[in-house]
Amino acid sequence: MLEQKLKTLSPGAEMINASISGDTTSGGRSRIAALLIRHTPQIVIIELGGNDALRGLPLSMSQTNLMSMVEQAQKTGAKVILVGMQIPPNYGREYGQTFKTMFNDVSLARKTALVPFLLEGVGPQNEMFQPDGIHPNESAQPIMMETVLKVLLPVIKDIN
């Protein structure tokens, strides 16, 4: 959806979706160097960390991985957009709050653009989630696309 919308708003723009379903920040960190060389992007959108939290991984490790990915992308001259996420409250207040602020902390430290919360405007409507209650369904996709687009368009304008 984002690629189609982008083509109408910024003709000539090309999107590469290098995501892997279920990936963690460790997986992203291990793959990003080769992807940056292969694709030489002007803008890199990093939306990882949710699976780290769902697995209860140490958030210090997740933050280090996010920081590394952002640094690697910035060293190539790419602008970075970091996409934040939140986790369900059953993971505990402290873990949830630390997870939520991790994205802002990395964004501030590396001076990136930030989508504070990918699911802004989606939850907690249960009809917008798959039966697992965690993953958004098809009806949530347009909202998520617009959430990212609000941050992406000024970055595109800045590089043009």
Separation in Å, CA 111 to CA 26, 40, 141: 21, 20, 27
Find out whether the peptide bond into 136 is cis, omega within 30 degrees of 0: no
The 3 state secondary structure assigned to 77-146 is CCEEEEECCCCCHHHCHHHHHHHHHHHHHHHHHHCCEEECCCCCCCCCCHHHECCCCCCECHHHHHHHHH
What is the structure's pLDDT at 124? 66
| pLDDT confidence of residue 125 | 65
Residue that is written with structure tokens 């617009």 in the block: 146
Q: Which residues of 34-71 are buried (b: 16+ CB within 10 A; e: fewer)?
A: ebbeeeebebbbbbbbbbbbeeebebeebbebbbbbbe
Distance CA 64, CA 59 (A): 8
pLDDT value at position 126?
77
Query: For residue 10, what pLDDT band results from cuts at 50, 70 and 90?
Result: confident
2-6+23-159, CATH topology level: Rossmann fold (3.40.50)
pLDDT in tens, 76-108: 999 999 999 999 888 899 999 999 999 999 999
The pLDDT confidence band at residue 11, using thresholds 50, 70 and 90, is confident
pLDDT tens string 122-137: 966 678 999 888 889 9
Give the bridge partners for 136, in sequence order. 129
Q: How far apart are CA 96 and CA 145, in angstroms?
A: 24
Comparing 11 with 79, the larger pLDDT belongs to 79
Angle made by CA atoms 63, 65, 66, in degrees to the nearest 5: 65
**Burial (Cβ within 10 Å: 0-12, 13-18, ≥19) of residue 152:** buried
pLDDT at 30: 98
Which residues, in sequence order, are bridge partners of residue 44? Answer: 80
pLDDT in tens, 22-73: 999 999 999 999 999 999 999 999 999 999 999 999 999 999 999 999 999 9
Looking at residues 110-122, what average pLDDT do you find? 96
